[in-house]
Chain A
């Protein structure tokens, strides 16, 4: 007996693409986009800066300053394209890898590091940024996004929710339930799946025999596959899906077809399960290189511009590093904070006992 679940995945992808890997602009009948040179340069800047933040975080982890880091390398266009499609009123629900979306939501990159440095479980105010906390349990946040969208719907607000998740996450019950809820309640939500081809060591064939975007039709809403390394296409497709949601036309599943160019996290060793050729092939589709080629060819930016962006990126990297190192260690008694909204006798009792215990070591060795 053999098991071959991979057949369906080989089906030719119907991919929305507006910018080829070579940096050629192509037309699409349904999803075209008109961007000013200023806006295009802005997207380029975003891509470069988030890649730089990510590189710095990887380096900080290597030097022992972070416990772990989940790199977004290769997924910048999917995140910036979709992130820049959001209005201030829209609400985003990330996984643990959405550093680029966080950037679009004006979350200070240093705040992202807290969780990975082990000083907190998520250090930004989700309400201030309309950017929810990172969710580590795979798929859970998809239901939260749908519920949030049901709230938007009841409020009659001009807004939508977007939820990020990976290819692996599509297997979770929660994710499938979220599709059902969104469909049945016609919730104003966009499901943004970054298919980076891998769930740690498991390739997409372990999760699906059909392209992921086609799952949507079974749940009763549109699904669309977009070139996840094409920032124009990601922006155009997400804008359209968000608009549909806000206008009462219900959910959309977007599959951003991309590639995890780095390890799953800094703890992972991808050489154990994937071949180097694959990475080389995807490097030719790099999201930043293609936009740079486009800008250059169309004389929307010159060498001096690129150098200025690189310099800005380096300065940002240095700043992120400096402020990461300055991040204070949390107070041990903070363990008891924020567990409950109201006073709680057990928290008070244990905090008091622990404070006394800590005090008993003062002046002595140890601790």
Chain B
């Protein structure tokens, strides 16, 4: 076991993946000498060289488009998008090509491309640096979409994403990059890794199920601790994978608790929570004591940073929703 920050855990996972497979490449803006603006690729260019860790020209469409070409040629590119808000210039390549080319080839082509996106707010940044664009990608068939929430998972999930033969959109909660935890980096541990697309109960409870992913998992765990003082037993599930979704784990929990609150930073309106709520309603209808409630950002553009504490779901907003669940 070693103690790693989330950023360092991804760094170690990338390093391991590059050691394991010489076809793994890293490409993005400032990923080389600088090690990325969050230092997630720190030291990798020094150790693996400029042919494997590529400082690209400043163009996201170019990054993803050429990653597709490299993948066609047998490489496994890991693209870094510098901030969530800058994935949009690459949206065309991701949505029209990356997601659909394998199908177009009737399975002849595989595109093992990972697109890493630091996401979410809470770091006091200017516009375009705090967004949660996951729903655009979960809405796009052909992409696998995952979100890590802690160092131990991040270390494992990035390696699994790289090994996956499908394209994976890999969300990293940027405000959690500096949070530390124990990570088992021993090769033997790999045998016990859960599948990339499994959810996990991170805190068992019996009264209400709270679903979260990425940066909101920790917030929900804190809310669960606070709720305990009010005598409420909150089960917190870290979804980890948004597409595909670990439906069994989620519905089992909600059938048990009869209540469900969904929490994400993205706007509630047409957010990923809408898919979750609809599915849960369909599959757990007779077990529900209350409607499935959603907590998220407002249905506005991400506000200036002085207002982000109001925009972002926090412990109080989660508890408020938990309370409302019991009012039915």
Identify the stretch in B106-114, B123-131, B136-144, B191-199 within 8 Å (CB) of chain A at 4 or more residues.
B123-131
The SS class assigned to the B binding surface is loop
Residues in A neighbouring B37, C-beta threshold 8 A? 200, 267-268
Is B189 interfacial (CB-CB < 8 Å)? no
How far, in Å, is A323 (CB) from chain B's closest CB? 16
Is A120 interfacial (CB-CB < 8 Å)? yes
Identify the stretch in A32-40, A153-161, A167-175, A246-254 within 8 Å (CB) of chain B at 4 or more residues.
A167-175
Whole-angstrom CA separation of A346 from B303 in the bound complex: 16
Query: Are B310 and A335 in contact, with the CB atoms below 8 A?
Result: yes
Residues in B neighbouring A334, C-beta threshold 8 A? 303, 307
Identify the stretch in A76-84, A111-119, A228-236 within 8 Å (CB) of chain B at 4 or more residues.
A111-119
Query: Are A335 and B51 in contact, with the CB atoms below 8 A?
Result: no
A137 with B86: in contact, given A68-B126, A173-B62, A199-B58 (CB under 8 Å)? yes
Per the CB 8 Å criterion, the residue count for chain A at the interface is: 47
Query: Are A272 and B33 in contact, with the CB atoms below 8 A?
Result: yes
A3 with B50: in contact, given A137-B86, A137-B89 (CB under 8 Å)? yes
Residue with the highest number of chain B CB atoms closer than 10 Å, among A116, A137, A207, A339: A137
Residue of chain A at shortest CB distance from B316: A366
Residues in B neighbouring A339, C-beta threshold 8 A? 300-301
Query: Are A273 and B316 in contact, with the CB atoms below 8 A?
Result: no
Pick the residue among A138, A172, A201, A361 that contacts B33 (CB under 8 A). Answer: A201
Is A347 interfacial (CB-CB < 8 Å)? yes
Whole-angstrom CA separation of A175 from B303 in the bound complex: 27
Residue of chain B at shortest CB distance from A167: B58
Residues in A neighbouring B56, C-beta threshold 8 A? 206
Residues in B neighbouring A341, C-beta threshold 8 A? none
Q: How many A-B residue pairs have CB under 8 A?
A: 115
Whole-angstrom CA separation of A346 from B269 in the bound complex: 9
Residue of chain A at shortest CB distance from B317: A357
Query: Are B58 and A169 in contact, with the CB atoms below 8 A?
Result: yes
Is A202 interfacial (CB-CB < 8 Å)? yes
A346 with B304: in contact, given A137-B85, A199-B58 (CB under 8 Å)? no
Is B29 interfacial (CB-CB < 8 Å)? yes
* B2-26 vs A, Cβ < 8 Å mask (1 yes, 0 no): 0000000000000000000000000
How far, in Å, is B26 (CB) from chain A's closest CB? 15
Is B104 interfacial (CB-CB < 8 Å)? no
Whole-angstrom CA separation of A294 from B85 in the bound complex: 45
Q: How many residues of B sit at the interface, in one of the four size bands?
A: 35 or more
Query: Are A1 and B307 in contact, with the CB atoms below 8 A?
Result: no
Whole-angstrom CA separation of A267 from B56 in the bound complex: 21
Residues in A neighbouring B118, C-beta threshold 8 A? none
How far, in Å, is A269 (CB) from chain B's closest CB? 8
Is B172 interfacial (CB-CB < 8 Å)? no
Residues in A neighbouring B89, C-beta threshold 8 A? 137, 172-174
Residues in B neighbouring A136, C-beta threshold 8 A? 85, 126-128
Whole-angstrom CA separation of A207 from B33 in the bound complex: 16
Whole-angstrom CA separation of A202 from B57 in the bound complex: 8
Query: Are A120 and B51 in contact, with the CB atoms below 8 A?
Result: no
Whole-angstrom CA separation of A162 from B252 in the bound complex: 60
Query: Are B298 and A350 in contact, with the CB atoms below 8 A?
Result: yes
Query: Are B304 and A200 in contact, with the CB atoms below 8 A?
Result: no
Residues in A neighbouring B300, C-beta threshold 8 A? 335-336, 339, 347, 350
Pick the residue among A115, A172, A335, A357 that contacts B307 (CB under 8 A). Answer: A335
Pairs across A and B, CB under 8 Å, 22 listed? A3-B51, A117-B306, A118-B126, A118-B305, A119-B306, A136-B85, A137-B88, A168-B57, A171-B62, A199-B58, A200-B30, A202-B55, A207-B58, A272-B33, A272-B35, A330-B304, A334-B307, A335-B303, A335-B307, A335-B310, A339-B301, A347-B299
Chain A interfacial positions (CB closer than 8 Å to B): 1, 3, 67-68, 96, 114-121, 136-138, 168-169, 171-174, 199-202, 206-207, 267-268, 272-273, 329-330, 332, 334-336, 339, 346-347, 350, 354, 357, 361, 366-367
Apart from A115-B126, A201-B30, A268-B37, what are 11 other A-B pairs with CB-CB below 8 Å? A118-B306, A136-B126, A138-B86, A171-B57, A173-B62, A199-B58, A201-B55, A202-B29, A202-B30, A206-B55, A335-B311
Chain B interfacial positions (CB closer than 8 Å to A): 29-30, 32-35, 37, 50-51, 55-59, 61-62, 85-86, 88-89, 124-128, 269, 298-301, 303-308, 310-311, 316-317, 320
